[in-house]
Structure formats: structure tokens, C-alpha cells
Amino acid sequence: MLVIGNGRLVTRDPEQPFFENGAVAMDGTTIKKVGTLEEIKKEFHDAEYVDAKGGVIMPAFINTHEHIYSAMARGLSIKGYDPKGFLDILDGMWWTIDRHLTGEQTRQSARATYLDSIKNGVTTVFDHHASFGEIKDSLFAIEDAAKEMSVRTCLCYEISDRDGMDKARAAVMENASWIKHALADDTDMIAGMMGMHAQFTISDETMELAAANKPAEVGYHIHVAEGIEDLHDCLKKYGKRIVDRLMDCNILGEKTLLAHCIYVNPHEMQLIKDTDTMVVHNPESNMGNACGCPPTMEIVHRGILTGLGTDGYTHDMTESFKVANVLHKHHLCDANAAWGEVPQMLFEGNAKIANRYFKKQLGVLKEGAAADVIVTDYIPLTPMDASNINGHILFGMTGRSVVTTVCNGKVLMKNRELVGLDEEKILYEVREEAKKLAHSING
């Protein structure tokens, strides 16, 4: 038994959303009970106890769109890289990196990403991977890191024709092998999807191959209308908009996750809604790549299940929360925009998306839910209650406010120190592979 208490407890359970001085009791991988510190300590007096020291106790974060393969891009300068648009950014930076990644560099990238995730209170990660330098077993290399770090993860490989049909087929087979492995696993800690880059790099032949190798239990994870070039390509080649093509290829559905959706129109939104397809918004990446601002507020208002991701830009979900909040206010010239929609995406949408792949309820502290809990050192200087929790998180916290992270009942970080992991050794090994990658790219 593990009890975390002596803090303001944010449960995300509408039945009892907030305790001024609360505690959560965990039995193995499951939450046993939440309540006041007094009643929880009285009932579970023999449990291991973690003192929140007056901070905020709340459910761990979920990231519904990550790119582990980008971990070694920090500070990397690529010779001749001078992008004039989004396609130049893709080919000159990201595709150049993934074409050089070895299996070991993929594993080390995953270790770095999951380590940072833990530090930022993220315990469930939906990753969208590419390593065309070494495709086979790349998702299994990521799994090695996920197991070492004890985090929950849903993986897929980015299918694309951009490096030829042989590699496209290898990407499909990597997804198929991983999905089969994940479906047979009973830990509820790994899951798989059929990953796709974007429709503009995927032929009908490859679409059909992916469909033929995808079990009915899973959906697709694909970038949609991230750049205007994607839309123009689809209109020119197929005489239809992107979501229409995906509909015709039977890509849409309740297990499918569409990343970005910047250049989608109301007709496409209706198709997404009618098929119960999921969408994930990645504000910082969209702004950083100058791709544009998606109609996310309208997507949410239409009742489409929408989550919040980072696209590898950061591993801090509070950072994405802050940026999404101001992005849509600025874009719509409406100071009232995004107050409700963005926290809905982060705290409700991400949990619902994750629970289409993981069995135990995530994103909430209540009896029977997954024992994924974080503690922050944030002590409010203004009144805090159930009605203003999101404002306190938005303006008072960052990811590094997290001091303790628990995933699946296991303490991964306590008082900002990783538990059972040699951080110094891990980062040394990551740096060594990062040097090799940089050398292989620039010679």
C-alpha cells in the first residue's frame, strides 16, 4: 500500500473534485481510496507514506502525440539546412534525422524522452515514431526504454513512401509486429496503433497494405493537414480533401487519432465527428513550423474528442496548456476563447483518448482507477477550490513544479530524484549516441 497525502487533492472526479487537505491510497497498480488526510491515514495507517508537504496532488499527465525520434535534435545544426517552408523543414531536419537513426539511437532517444516525461509528471505517452535508418525492431527498442522507465506508452511507426516502397513495406510490417505483441500483453502498460506519416507521402497501394495488416482492435495514428501543402497535394492527386480520402480508405473511426487538423473545413469536421474519430492539437509545433492555427475551438465545439499533445516540441504538458490558451485567444482576437476548451482537451480529452487503448481508467483519482499520481510543489497564494483549479495550474505551475511522479503504483520520482534509475549514467549514454548521430548526419 502507498499513500500520498498532506496536500490539496485534485481528483478530476466530478463526484468529489477537490480536498483541501487530501490523500490518495494505492494498492498495487490501482487507486484504493481518496479522501481527507485524516480518514485515509486512519484507514491505511500501515501504508508507505509520501508527504506532499502542502503541495498539489493530482492525476499524472497524458501526452497524446509525441515524437521520440526528435530527442537528439536539440542544438543540432545540419549543414545546408535553410528551410523556405514546411516541406523544407520536414526533409531538411526531421527526415534527415530519422534517416540516420540506428536502433540504439532510437532506444536512447526513448530513454531521454521518457526521463523528461517523468520529470514533467507525464506517465502515459502516445508516440509516433520514425527511423528510416533502421526500421525493424525500432518500436521494440522503444519498449525497452519504456519498461526501464516504467511508463505507459502507445507506439506506432510512421508509414511513408518517401524513401521508397521497400521501406514503406518494412514500416507496415514493423507496425504489424508491434501491434500483435502489444495485443498479447496483459500488463495494460503498452499498446499499438498503425502509424502513418501523412496522406501526401502515402500511396493507395501502401494504404491498402497497411489496412491488410491492421487488426480490427486498433486504429491509425496519422498527421492530417498539418501544412497547406498536404491539402494541395490531395486535391491535385485525388480531387478530394484529405479527410475525404481518409474516409474512402477506411482510415477514420473511434480508434484512429488525427494529429494537427489545421486545414480542415466544416464538412471534414462533420466526417470526423460522424465517425467518432479522435483529434490531437499540438500548438507549439504548429506555431514553430509556421503551419498556421487550426480551428481547434470549432472542432471541440462540434463535440469531436480532442486531446492535447506536444509533437516532440516539449515534454511539458503545462507548457502546451499555456501556449494553446494564448494561441487561440490571439488567433480569434477573443480574450474569452480557450478558457474551457483547452483544459477540457488536456484533462478530459487526453484521458478519454488514452482509455480507448488502455483498460484501467486514466486521468482521474478515484477508486479503481490507475495509480498514476503526481505531486507538485505549488502552494497557492490565492484561494484554491474546485472552481479555479485550472487557473492555478495555468498561471502557477510548470512541468518542473512536479516533485513526485507515480505510474501504475510505482514511485518513479520522489522529491525530484529519480527512483531506481541512474540518471547520470543514462544521460551519458544518450549523449554518446547523440554525438554519433550528429557526426553521421554532418560527416
- What pLDDT sits at residue 438? 97
146-184, pLDDT tens digit by residue? 999 999 999 999 999 999 999 999 999 999 999 999 999
Residue 443 has pLDDT above 90, yes or no: no
Residue (of 311, 254, 305) closest to 125 by Cα position: 311
Among 2.40.37.10, 2.30.40.10, 3.40.1190.20, 2.60.40.740, what is the CATH number of 2-60+360-418?
Answer: 2.30.40.10
- Which H or E run contains 284? helix 283-288
Q: Residue length, the chain?
A: 443
**CA separation, residue 90 to residues 99, 166, 223, 357 (Å):** 12, 21, 13, 29
Task: Give the predicted TM-score (pTM) of the model.
Answer: 0.98
Give me 404's grid cell.
513526485
216-258, pLDDT tens digit by residue? 999 999 999 999 999 999 999 999 999 999 999 999 999 999 9
Domain ranges of the chain: 2-60+360-418, 61-356
Task: Give yes or no for a contact between 380 and 392, defined as CB atoms under 8 angstroms apart.
Answer: yes
Task: Give yes or no for a contact between 311 and 285, defined as CB atoms under 8 angstroms apart.
Answer: yes
CATH class of the region 61-356: alpha beta
Q: Phi and psi of 48, rounded to 5°?
A: -60, 140
Mean pLDDT for the chain? 98
Calculate the CA 92 to chain-centre distance.
24
Give the residue ranges of DSSP H helices in 76-227.
Answer: 86-89, 95-100, 103-119, 138-149, 165-184, 204-212
303-318, pLDDT tens digit by residue? 999 999 999 999 999 9
181-206, pLDDT tens digit by residue? 999 999 999 999 999 999 999 999 99
Residue 302 has pLDDT above 90, yes or no: yes
Tell me the average pLDDT across 385-405. 98
309-356, pLDDT tens digit by residue? 999 999 999 999 999 999 999 999 999 999 999 999 999 999 999 999
96-140, pLDDT tens digit by residue? 999 999 999 999 999 999 999 999 999 999 999 999 999 999 999
Query: 211 falls in which pLDDT band (50, 70, 90)?
Result: very high
Residue 39 per-residue DSSP state: H
47-102, pLDDT tens digit by residue? 999 999 999 999 999 999 999 999 999 999 999 999 999 999 999 999 999 999 99
- What pLDDT sits at residue 199? 98
